[in-house]
Amino acid sequence: MTGIRTQALQARDAALAVAALSTDAKNALLQAMAAALEADAAVILEANARDLEAARAKGGGSAMLDRRRLDGKRLQGVADALREVAALPDPVGQVTRAYDRPNGIHVERVRVPLGLIAMIYEARPNVTADAAALCLKAGNAVVLRGGSEAIHSNTAIAAALRRALREADLPEAAITLVEDLRRETILELIQLNDIVDLVIPRGGEGLIRFVAEHARVPVIKHYKGVCHQYVDAPCDLGLALDLLIDGKCSRPAACNALETLLGHADVAATFLPRAVRALRERGVELRGCARSRAIVPDLREATGDDYAAEYLDLVLAVRVGDGLEQAIEHIQRYTSDHTEVIVTADASHAERFVQALRSAVVMVNASSRFSDGGELGLGAEIGISTTRLHSYGPMGLEALTVERFVVRGEGQVRHPDLLAPAE
């Protein structure tokens, strides 16, 4: 088996070829990749069946098995997603600013690819195709290290994608799947800071902490989403309830699901009983502070741990306070810098909430579940960053590029006095 350093070097060389591709060439490649997935459907589904077999033998639960399962329809969805990436605007070469300096030099800021991106992820095999497509569209090569539980599916998908590269006379190393699943191989990969430009880990907090602790390559990550919704006074309580139900119940395992409800005391007596009833009807368990339990006595008591928790489940922590400033203090203490929501009818309260909080996404009178690359108009999402560097919040194609400087002049110099007299 080729060592990971050699694989990464080949991928880095391939990155130069990908960076040089025109938009049309990249889009044709993505279409060919989609067709290759369709052509290989039988092989990929058979590989996926082997992964599921292994997982069942290990005693995996049915929800987990379902997440990993591919069928004809889901695989078609993966292929269609590649065609959607082909349809997105190409960020590479975009001129974000252009201006002349007083000395006449013309300066442009132009987006260029990052280079070589390593994706380290768990479980769902569609990430293999999605991440490869987004990295390539933004002019990058990618090293993919998926989880052992999807290794057969990932290998079959990568083989199809690489065939499309080969048939386009491009180096297959532009999509490199790491088949050596030892932990020390990840460790070596994330320390190749002379070869790899960025690592994006996606998965459980354990995986992400492992990568963040040991990487020498820059890491963009988010650990968790402890998203808050603050129900202010005055506010439309019907609207607040809609946002609460959508935020908590529409996909509780998503990182943009609500974990904590904060309420203004002036509306809590009216709102909380309604909210508890509506959420319990939908199977949500609530855990409240003393003030909320004074309003709804049968709430289970919440502890500090509840306010720090990302439940990823039908559980919601509740806290009633004196109003906006207490809500801001609570969020500043417990925030995961992911997404915070205020429901209010007072525009000045909304502005104060937006200004005081520094989370990646702040919503006024909208559901936390819009904190998603697709919903926010990025076209797709390679990940979410809760660290304030390079990218903050949902990351689309632009986040896989960086702006550089291109300068055009007519012989301008800084120190004309140094020059030779004209000959």
Residues 115-144 contacting a copy of itself, CB under 8 A: 115
Distances from the Cα of 80 to the Cα of 77, 83, 129, angstroms = 5, 5, 11
* CB 53 to a copy of itself: min, Å: 34
Q: Does 406 bind a copy of itself (CB under 8 A)?
A: yes
Query: How many residues belong to the site for a copy of itself (CB under 8 A)?
Result: 82
Give the range of 75-83, 162-170, 288-296, 397-405 binding a copy of itself by CB under 8 A. 397-405
Beta bridge partners of 100: 106
Query: For 134, what's the count of Cα atoms within 13 Å in the CB-facing half-sphere?
Result: 26
CB of 350 vs a copy of itself, minimal distance in Å: 8
Full DSSP string of 86-142:
HHSPP-TT-EEEEEE-TTS-EEEEEEEE--EEEEEE-S-THHHHHHHHHHHHTT-EE
Residue 265 CA to residue 272 CA, distance in Å, equals 10
392 lies in the binding site for a copy of itself (CB under 8 A): yes
Tell me: cis bond preceding 171? Omega within 30 of 0 counts: no
Using CB under 8 A as the binding rule, whether residue 179 contacts a copy of itself is answered as no
Q: Which residues from 217-256 bind a copy of itself, rule CB under 8 A? A: 218-219, 236, 238-239, 241-243, 245-246, 249-250
Among residues 366, 380, 382, 395, the one that binds a copy of itself under rule CB under 8 A: 366
Query: DSSP 3-state assignment of 82?
Result: helix
Q: Contacting a copy of itself (CB under 8 A), which of 50, 182, 280, 390?
A: 390
Closer CB to a copy of itself, residue 72 or residue 283?
A: 283
At its nearest, how many Å lie between a copy of itself and the CB of residue 28?
19
CB nearer to a copy of itself: pick between 152 and 330: 330
Looking up tokens 């492992």 gives: 210
Residues 93-112 that bind a copy of itself (CB under 8 A): 99, 101, 105, 107, 112
Least distance from a copy of itself to the Cβ atom of residue 42, Å: 34
* Helix pair 265-281, 237-249: axis angle to 10 deg: 40
Q: Which two tokens stand for residue 56?
A: 């069942």
Tokens of 348: 């000045």
Q: Is there binding between residue 300 and a copy of itself (CB under 8 A)?
A: no
**Does position 24 bind a copy of itself by CB under 8 A?**
no
